[in-house]
Chains A and B, each alone.
Chain A
Amino acid sequence: MAKSDSGNGGRAAQPQGSALYEVLKGIDFERRELVDKGKGVGLFDLVKAKDGSYRCYSCTLCERVCPVDCIEIDYCPEFEELPFDVAAERAAALASLPGESCGAGAACVMGEKPAGFMPEIDMKLFDPVVAKIRDGSGLVEAFHATQEAFGYLPRVALEDIAEEMKLPFSRVFGVASFYSQFRLLPVGKHVIDVCMGTACHVAGAPLVVEALSQELEIPVGATTPDGLFTLQTVNCVGACALAPVVRLGDDETFGRLGPNEARKLVRKLRKQEVGA
């Protein structure tokens, strides 16, 4: 925090004994008088650096961490242009990265095209999602529809959702990355979900995950380079009596599957694919 230039001006606006006063006392922070707002209404201004440039990078962190939810970031139609040059910022950020990729793959907003398995995106599939949004569905529902159409959430789709819903992209991406069910990377033909519920854990699910990960030579959450298998874990599929449970795609569920059987299952599937 910058040193206060107006003494304890920031604190004086708060009535003594109020909750905010308790929080703020003893902290020195920069206080700016806001022209259009009354006293005590807006304590924090969008901070500009000394050279007049904006210091806010729309990371939305303030909105996320505020314990009393007094910050809300919204789409702002009057800002046609962003206050800073996005392309230049991105180029600078990429230049500062070691090597070519930042390592986060498509999950990284900065990196344009991550290496690895990347299918073409047919944007025709996206039309029903747009229709749904116009019908009043929420953001999370829109993601579900998108994931159903593409198998994951491609960046272009997220950008379109942001535009359609008049939300900042940071917000859309923030929500998409929060929920563990939404995938930001494409998935393979066979999605293997290993249940990690309590009953499955007790019955040895960690061993099953390990066996599968070894057999497929990928870590959990990744897709094999040939695009055939994706290995994931889920919290609980609710078939606890059959623990340990492995789900293949949306329809097939295998119960009482030990590490050895799991390996056999993968080998069988691979054989089918190679044979086909």
Chain B
Amino acid sequence: MSPAAKLTKIDRALQAKADRSAYLADDAKTEIRICAGTACHASGRVALRKAVETTLAERGLTGKVAVVETGCHGFCEEGPIVVVRPQGLFYPRLKAKDIEEIIATSVVGDGIVERLLYKDPQTGEALAHEKDIAFYALQERIVLALNGKIDPYSLDDYLNHGGYSALAKVLNAADPEAVIDDVEKSDLRGRGGAGFPTGKKWRFCRANPGEKHYVICNADEGDPGAFMDRSVLEGNPHSVIEGMIIAAYAIGAGNGPVEGYVYVRHEYPFAVQRLRHALETARERNLLGDDILGSGFSFDIRINQGAGAFVCGESTALTASIEGHRGMPRGKHIRTVAHGLWGQPTNLNNVESYANVPWIVNHGPEAFAAKGTATSKGTKIFSLTGKVVNGGLIEVPMGATLRQVIFAIGGGMLPGREFKAVQLGGPSGGCLPASLLDEPIDFESLVAAGSMMGSGGMVVVDDTTCMVDFAKFFLKFTAEESCGKCVPCRVGTQRMLEILERISAGEATVEDVERLELLADDIIEGSLCQLGGSAPNPVLSTLRYFREEVMAHVVQRCCPAKVCRPLIRYTIDADACTGCHVCLGACPTSAISGERKEAHTIDQKLCIQCDTCRQVCKFDAIPIETGIFAMAEGRQQ
């Protein structure tokens, strides 16, 4: 915009929408922010909020101190999280009884409750601010920038943080092609996993003629272990809506009507609730609906809820589901950009892709392209879970190494545990071993390593996880979620699962392992959609990097990680056992016997290997042995 340019009609319309009296970004107002993400909710934020409100009321501070429930802060391991402003004090793992002290010290007074601060696991130093904590300090947040800062129920909060300014900029310029040019120049690639260039998709969609164009946001985050999309929708739903309106404008302006859909998982009740509220308020203020901000462009978004089918994350299955069919994919000889929802040209992007768009428009494509690697630009959100110290939601520039993410940000493995593998890309991805920890994270290098970006699930496992069992878990998932339309996926995954089950039972032969590889190739080749096409990936990557462990099951008939049930047995270490009777009481099948203060014994015929005894034992007196015992003991499987 030239310096002389005055505020346009659209700018004025946007400014009129914002209520400036709503609390501003960095003012000195006293405020208590409670994280209301799903994880913090599960760890007790409702009780926390109640405690805050009663304590404030007791002190007559109701109304003077704002209580804001924000979206996910990302540090889910440490929930429930409370941030006290204006100091920005970060209090993790709070209990309702701690609130009194915090309000007395940090809200009324200006002190810090040292006892409740986050302690660095390495140095033991208490850290008061988010920016001091390694978990936050090493991240680079674009999409998540406002997560945890704004109230997802307040449109004013978003507007006061510069929200919808990208939309105003686009509407002012009134050049939809230029928007597509910008997105293309930024090299934004689809964050759903495949990494198709977003700008290119928009261009194809715009070029395809149709009665109506559809813009769909894919929030059917089915990957087990991934929750990035949920957190964005829960924490900052307007950023996704803004991205969608910009996409709709780029595709539909001067090109016929456009309609939007968000396809969101039903398992995410908070995300649906907040998104629905965000859509309503945006509609009220004319940021959605007819003649948006007086620009003459009209667009509206509907919510469509999924119903627990993983395959509905696939574009053609997703459109089939919206149309009210069984969510089954079709052959992709004709792409959805030409023939999608109701047979019309349809643009389908992931939540995170849309959430990146306002930033690109505001900061320019060059700034976005400056981040990341040669082929993958910008940042990527990962949900880091599994056996790491700091699990949660992290955003890093593309090209960061796995070691940086897992060890520097994630804080490394739990004490006394050894890193074994990291699983990326959910059931379509693969496990990478320690030797690949210095691999940069981008689309190409992950595929080359036999894994994939996927939507961003990152599950770290240690030496207590059996890789055969882990691969079996993913294959079981895809076999169950296979829609059943094409034979390679429906029957093939089932057969692969059977072979894996034989391996983990110690009944497989070396030929079985070869057969597994052959079958995997055929399934990849013959499947109709990417669910089948990528289903064998976890198995293939396991065979590639953890072949020794697989062969241990086949040749030595033992499970090195001591997980596969037919190959293990629970025993009692007579020297360590104090005869305390705790395991005896906990055993659900009364398989443990023994007198008090004398070493107990386990009856292998009764033991169902539920692991309860080992978990309750305080003396580590229940070691697991591995080998082929089942036959010898006549155990009932």
Q: Are B224 and A236 in contact (CB under 8 A)?
A: yes
Is there an interface contact between B331 and A68, defined as CB atoms closer than 8 Å? yes
- Give the nearest-CB partner of B74 in chain A: A241
CB neighbours of A165 from chain B (8 A): 324
Measured between beta carbons, the chain A residues less than 8 angstroms from B310 are: 235
Residue of A nearest to B226 (CB): A236
**Complex CA–CA separation, A199 to B227 (angstroms):** 11
Q: Nearest CB to that of A177 among chain B residues?
A: B326
On chain B, the number of residues with a Cβ less than 8 Å from chain A's Cβ atoms is: 68
Total number of A-B contacts with CB less than 8 angstroms? 174
Is the CB–CB distance between B385 and A243 below 8 Å?
Answer: yes
Q: How far is the CA of A253 from the CA of B80 in the complex (A)?
A: 13
**Chain A residues, Cβ within 8 Å of B306:** 140, 179, 181
A263 at interface, CB cutoff 8 A: yes
In contact, B321 and A140 (Cβ under 8 angstroms): yes
B79 and A198 contact, CB distance less than 8 A: no
User: Whole-angstrom distance between the alpha carbons of A140 and B459 in the complex?
Assistant: 32
Q: Known contacts being A178-B326, A214-B588, A242-B43, is A204 close to B386, with CB within 8 Å?
A: no
Q: Report A-chain residues with C-beta under 8 Å of the C-beta of B326.
A: 64, 174-175, 178
Are B473 and A260 touching (Cβ within 8 A)? no
Not counting A178-B328, A181-B267, A207-B611, a sample of 15 additional A-B residue pairs whose C-beta atoms are within 8 angstroms of each other reads A64-B328, A64-B485, A138-B322, A179-B307, A181-B266, A182-B308, A198-B473, A198-B474, A199-B459, A200-B224, A238-B231, A240-B383, A240-B386, A241-B77, A241-B385
Whether A259 sits at the interface, judged by CB under 8 Å, is yes
In the assembly, what is the distance between CA of A260 and CA of B304, in Å?
A: 39
- Chain A CB within 10 Å — which of B326, B386, B423, B485 has the most? B326
A180: chain B residues within 8 A (beta carbon): 307-309
CB nearest neighbor in A for B307: A179
Taking the nearest CB of chain B, how far is it from the CB of A241, in angstroms?
3
B77 near A179 with CB under 8 A, answer no
Contacts of B309 in A (CB 8 A): 178-180
Q: Are B459 and A210 in contact (CB under 8 A)?
A: no
The docked-state distance in angstroms from the alpha carbon of A65 to that of B77 is 44
**Residue A141, interface by CB 8 Å:** yes
Indicate which residue in B79, B324, B486 contacts A175 across the interface (CB closer than 8 Å).
B324
Closest chain A CB from B74 CB (angstroms)? 10
Q: For A181, what are the chain B residues with a Cβ–Cβ distance below 8 Å? A: 266-267, 306-308
List chain A residues, Cβ under 8 A from B266: 144, 181
Q: Are B224 and A202 in contact (CB under 8 A)?
A: no
A230 to B383, CA, bound (A): 30
Distance of A240 Cα from B43 Cα, bound (Å): 12
Determine the distance from Cα of A259 to Cα of B614 in the docked complex, in whole angstroms.
11
Bound form: Cα–Cα A121–B266 in Å: 24
A187-242 contacts to B (CB < 8 Å):
196-202, 204, 207, 210-211, 214-215, 234-242
| B612 contacts chain A at the CB level, 8 A cutoff | yes
Q: Is the CB of A199 within 8 A of B385?
A: yes
Could you give 17 example pairs across A and B, Cβ below 8 Å?
A64-B326, A67-B486, A140-B305, A175-B325, A179-B309, A181-B308, A199-B459, A202-B386, A211-B588, A214-B588, A235-B477, A236-B225, A238-B221, A240-B459, A241-B79, A242-B76, A259-B615
The 6 closest A-B pairs by CB, nearest first: A139-B324, A198-B225, A179-B307, A241-B76, A181-B308, A238-B227
Check if A207 sits within 8 Å of B77, measured CB to CB. Answer: no
Is the CB–CB distance between B459 and A198 below 8 Å?
A: yes
A143 to B, closest residue via Cβ = B307
Residue of B nearest to A136 (CB): B302
For B39, what are the chain A residues with a Cβ–Cβ distance below 8 Å? 238-242, 255
Q: For B322, what are the chain A residues with a Cβ–Cβ distance below 8 Å? A: 138, 140
- Give min CB distance, B126 to chain A, whole Å: 21
Q: Which residue of A lies closest to B474 (CB)?
A: A198
For A259, what are the chain B residues with a Cβ–Cβ distance below 8 Å?
610-612, 615
On whether the beta carbons of B269 and A250 are closer than 8 Å, the reply is yes
CB distance from B351 to the nearest CB of A (A): 13
B228 nearest CB neighbor, chain A only = A238
- The 8 A CB mask of B598-628 against A (1 = contact, 0 = none) is 0000000000101110011000000000000
CB-based contact A235/B304 at 8 Å: no
| Residue ranges of A at the interface with B (Cβ–Cβ < 8 Å) | 64-65, 67-69, 138-141, 143-144, 165, 174-175, 178-182, 196-202, 204, 207, 210-211, 214-215, 234-243, 245, 250, 253-255, 258-260, 263
Give bound CA distance, A196 to B391, whole Å.
18
Contacts of B307 in A (CB 8 A): 140, 143-144, 179-182
Q: Is the CB of A197 within 8 A of B304?
A: no
- Map CB proximity to A onto B39-59 as digits: 1 under 8 Å, 0 otherwise: 101110000000000000000
Once the chains bind, are A178 and B327 in contact (CB under 8 Å)?
A: yes
CA distance A95 to B342 in the complex (A): 42
Cβ contact of A179, chosen from B308, B385, B392, B486, cutoff 8 A: B308
Tell me whether B305 and A141 are in contact (CB under 8 A).
yes
Please measure, in the bound complex, the distance between the C-alpha atom of A263 and the C-alpha atom of B588, giving whole angstroms.
10
Q: How far is B42's CA from A160's CA once the two chains are assembled, in angstroms?
A: 38
Q: Does B161 contact A (CB under 8 A)?
A: no
Decide yes or no whether B268 CB sits under 8 A from chain A. yes
Tell which of A180, A214, A236 has the most Cβ of chain B within 10 Å. Answer: A236
| Residue B130 is within 8 A (CB to CB) of chain A in the complex | no
Q: Are B528 and A235 in contact (CB under 8 A)?
A: no
Interface of B is mostly: loop
Q: Which residues of B contact A258 (CB under 8 A)?
A: 612, 615
Q: A143-B307, A198-B457 are in contact. Are A236 and B223 (CB under 8 A)?
A: yes
In the complex formed, the residue of A with least CB distance to B465 is: A202
* B92 CB to nearest chain A CB (Å): 12
- Residues A198 and B268 in contact, CB atoms below 8 Å apart: no
Smallest Cβ distance from B483 to chain A, in angstroms? 8
**B230 in the interface (beta carbon within 8 A):** yes
B160 touches A (CB below 8 Å): no
B262 CB, nearest partner CB in chain A, Å = 13
Residues of A within 8 A of B308 (CB): 179-182, 234-235
Q: Are A236 and B267 in contact (CB under 8 A)?
A: yes
A260 CA to B613 CA in the complex, in Å? 9
Beta-carbon nearest neighbor of A204 in chain B: B611
Docked CA distance A199–B94 (Å): 23
What A residues does B495 contact at CB under 8 A? Answer: none
Residues in chain A near residue B386, CB distance under 8 A: 198-199, 202, 240
Instruction: Return A44 CB to nearest CB of chain B, in Å.
Output: 18
Which residues of chain A have C-beta atoms less than 8 A from B612's C-beta?
A: 207, 211, 258-260
A240 with B222: CB separation less than 8 A: no
Q: State whether the Cβ of B120 lies closer than 8 Å to any Cβ in chain A.
A: no
Q: How far is the CA of A258 from the CA of B391 in the complex (A)?
A: 19
Q: Which residue of B lies closest to A67 (CB)?
A: B331
| Minimum C-beta distance from A35 to chain B (A) | 28
Q: Which residues of B contact A235 (CB under 8 A)?
A: 222, 224, 267, 308, 310, 477
Query: Is there an interface contact between A202 and B226, defined as CB atoms closer than 8 Å?
Result: no
Q: Is there contact, CB below 8 Å, between A238 and B38?
A: yes
Question: Please, which residues of chain B bring their CB within 8 A of the CB of A140?
Answer: 304-307, 321-322, 324
Chain B residue contacts of A141, Cβ below 8 A? 304-305
Residues of B within 8 A of A237 (CB): 38, 267
Shortest Cβ gap from A71 to chain B (Å): 12
* B227 and A240 form a contact (CB under 8 A): yes
Binary contact readout B299-339 vs A (1 if CB under 8 angstroms, 0 otherwise): 00000111111100000000001111111101101000000
Does A179 contact B324, Cβ atoms closer than 8 Å? no
Chain A's closest residue to B308 (CB) is A181
- Minimum CB–CB distance for B217 against chain A, Å: 16
Instruction: State the Cβ distance, A214 to closest chain B Cβ, in Å.
Output: 6
CB neighbours of A238 from chain B (8 A):
38-39, 221, 226-227, 230-231, 267-268
Among B307, B331, B392, residue most surrounded by chain A Cβ atoms (within 10 Å): B307
Q: Is B461 an interface residue (CB 8 A)?
A: yes
